[in-house]
Amino acid sequence: MILSLRDIQRSFWALSSGETLELLETNYKGLDESEVKRRRALFGRNAFEEKRRLSRLAIFLGQFKSP
């Protein structure tokens, strides 16, 4: 599965579910385990980076900084 730049820039929300499944080379049942492993190796895990959160004290003290 190789998505072109044109594919990536498509408006997925404007496509039918069938068109989206076809473009992503999957089906209503999802991917089988071997395809999941292959895509994870290619694209990485589908996870958000965790950002370090400021403590309430740091936020409070930040209110006294000059802009």
- The DSSP code sequence of 1-67 is ----HHHHTS-GGGS-HHHHHHHTT--TT---HHHHHHHHHHH----PPPPPPPPHHHHHHHTTS--
pLDDT of residue 32: 94
In a domain, residue 22? The reply is yes
In a domain, residue 8? The reply is no
Confidence of residue 18 (pLDDT cuts 50, 70, 90): very high
In a domain, residue 28? The reply is yes
Whether the pLDDT of residue 63 is over 80: the answer is yes
- Measured in whole angstroms, the distance separating CA 41 from the mean position of its chain's CA atoms is 15
Whether the pLDDT of residue 37 is over 90: the answer is yes
Structural domain boundaries enclosing 20: 16-45
pLDDT, one tens digit per residue, over 40-50 is: 998 898 888 88
Count of the separate structural domains present in the chain: 1
Its pTM surpasses 0.85: no
In a domain, residue 27? The reply is yes
